[in-house]
A = this chain, B = another copy of it.
Amino acid sequence: MLANTPPPPYYAVIFSNIKSPDTEGYSEMADRMVELAAEQPGFLGIESASSDIAITVSYWESEQAIANWKRNAEHQVAQKLGKDKWYAAFQLRVAKVERAYSY
């Protein structure tokens, strides 16, 4: 589903990754993180697609909301498992959305 975000400015966290062969537990954790992110203050929406690589873009009201989400205890467990186990490589980019168009 496309995220129904408010007019800019707001922030995007662009998380691009390549999975390792060990995907045990990944899918459940990914679902839980989407559910948990949506409960956080300042969360605006999330979009995910996965084929050769996976891209998840989450949208946030402010940099502070992103910083809080990064420090969330349950999310920190997921981050560690991701680095240790699920991701062969990733790029995480924090960006300020300045303009948006929809159709």
Chain A residues with CB under 8 Å of chain B are 1-3, 5, 8, 12, 14, 16-18, 47-55, 57, 83, 87, 89-103
Q: Chain B residue with minimal CB distance to A98?
A: B94
Q: Which chain B residues lie closer than 8 Å to A1 at the CB level?
A: 52-53
A57 x B16 contact (CB < 8 A): yes
Given contacts A90-B2, A91-B101, A103-B90, contact A55 B52 (CB under 8 A): no
Contact among B53, B92, B99 for A101, CB-based, below 8 A: B92
Q: How far is the CA of A55 from the CA of B95 in the complex (A)?
A: 16
Complex CA–CA separation, A101 to B3 (angstroms): 24
Closest 9 CB pairs of A and B: A95-B95, A49-B49, A95-B97, A49-B55, A94-B99, A93-B100, A55-B55, A92-B101, A91-B102
